[in-house]
Chain A
Amino acid sequence: MSFHHISLIINGEQELADISANMTLLDLLRETLVFTGTKNGCAAGECGPCTVLLNGEPVNSCLVLAIECQGQEITTVEGLAQDKRLDPIQDAIMEAGGVQCGFCTPGILIASKALLDRNPDPSVSEIKAALVGNLCRCTGYLRIIDAVQQAART
């Protein structure tokens, strides 16, 4: 198996890592660089808590090879807050009660942030469509949708 030395930007800071070819971006984040906010769920691109931004676009990090991220920019849930202030979507999901067990929350936050970046005023159906790849077993989704709408207003 091939091994590689890569350099990438995670949450605005350069990170270096020695990786094997079969390491996914999710493996790299959680196991090597210890960005454990990003979660491993199905590892098959179905459930969404592994969602991170790759060059500003959301991806399932379980289905991206770490080697593909050489020189790329990654944003994880740890990178949403700026200057010790939470992102509006983080404030909103707490206020709306959109967190219960919390396992899906990092992926929901990233997918919602990406939605609001490309569409600052989404309708309920647009929010549902954007979050279709993020399963939540606790909330029933209504408060998550409320949170995205609330964040859109701020």
Chain B
Amino acid sequence: MNAYPKLPEFDYIKPQSYKEASQFLISHAGEARLFIGGTDLFVQMRDRVYKPKYLVDVKGLDGMDEITFLPSQGLTIGAGVNMNRVIADAHIKQHYPILAEAAESVASYQLRTRASIVGNICNASPAGDTIGACLLLEGVLIIFGEDGEREETLSTFFLGPGKTTLRAGDVVAAIRFPIPPDGMKGRYIKLGRNQLSDLSIVGVTVLGYPEGESDSGYHFELALASVAPIPLVVKQVGEILGREPITDDTLQEAARAAMDVCTPIDDVRGSAKYRKLMVRNLSYNALKDVWGQLTGESR
């Protein structure tokens, strides 16, 4: 192992506009990579997973550093906003606390000074801690590409580990979230090899809110990290907990459904079998926790 590893050689490019960034990335497709915080990219460059000829620093482009919340429209988080700002933001704390909770589970404070929500998403790791919350909150990416600005919903964004629908020349400027339903509660439970800061072996995000139209009177959603090639939303959980009164039995049934649909692999952090069982147990814990919050019972 190199005791003093260096980054491979590259040219540093700092574009002044989205158009300039996009055009550079298109004309140097395959040899240029964009970065925001670099917390994943630089490590992979050290390990020579990537050896880009050009690194394109898109931080500082218009609006990238802003968090805006409008009660009529919702929340927009610029791609360059770091996770510590997301955790500390008063609007996010009040209206989207699950986002802050998930972000707080990422690595360490000093890493979160550089890490961003959009970076976490675009990195497309199945273990991405904030992705489940962004999926369940119906996040939409604002992307500048070859043909100008477009929006892309997160639910169809992920294709595989590290693979997304982004094309050469695409620069994600921000993520936008609609106003969440009234009374929404959430919980993110992460199992790592240690209590704080590690990558997840299993991550479970649960949201729940009162919904008059369902037979149970509530709607639940659940997303899983680290147990499939992409961040996984378990639709069955919403169906099971929507169609009949919520009891300990139905919560357990929903947790078993989460276990049944996930497809984990064996790796250095845990075996597939262990992950399956943990998905069931932690899904039950998270669902029960959110149910407790919704019904006003203490956790």
Q: Which residues of A contact B (CB under 8 A)?
A: 1-2, 4, 20-24, 27, 40, 43-45, 48, 51, 54, 57-60, 63-65, 67-68, 111, 114-115, 128-130, 132-134
Contacts and interface: CB of A to CB of B under 8 A. Distances in A.
Interface string B1-25: 0001111111110000000000000
Given A63-B38, A63-B114, A22 B10 contact: yes
Given A63-B38, A68-B57, A111 B109 contact: yes
Interface size class of B (residues with CB under 8 A): 20 to 34
Given A40-B4, A60-B111, A132-B197, 16 more contacts: A2-B11, A4-B12, A21-B10, A27-B6, A43-B5, A43-B46, A45-B39, A45-B110, A59-B110, A63-B42, A63-B111, A65-B12, A68-B57, A68-B59, A132-B196, A133-B197
What's the dominant secondary structure at chain A's contact region?
mixed
A45 B40 CA distance: 9
Interface in B135-192: none
A154 B114 CA distance: 30
Interface of B: 4-12, 37-39, 42-43, 46, 55, 57, 59, 84, 107-111, 113-114, 196-197
B55 A21 contact: yes
Given A22-B8, A60-B114, A129 B38 contact: no
B113 to A, nearest CB: 5
B108 A48 contact: yes
Nearest to B35: A65
A126 B31 CA distance: 43
Contact of B39 (A40, A63, A65, A67): A63
Given A132-B108, A132-B196, A133-B108, A21 B9 contact: yes
Contacts of B10: 1-2, 21-22
A130 B114 contact: no
Contact of A129 (B42, B43, B109, B110): B109
Nearest to A58: B110
9 contacts: A4-B12, A21-B10, A44-B46, A45-B39, A58-B113, A60-B111, A63-B43, A132-B109, A133-B109
A92 B96 CA distance: 38
Contacts of B39: 45, 63
Nearest to A70: B14
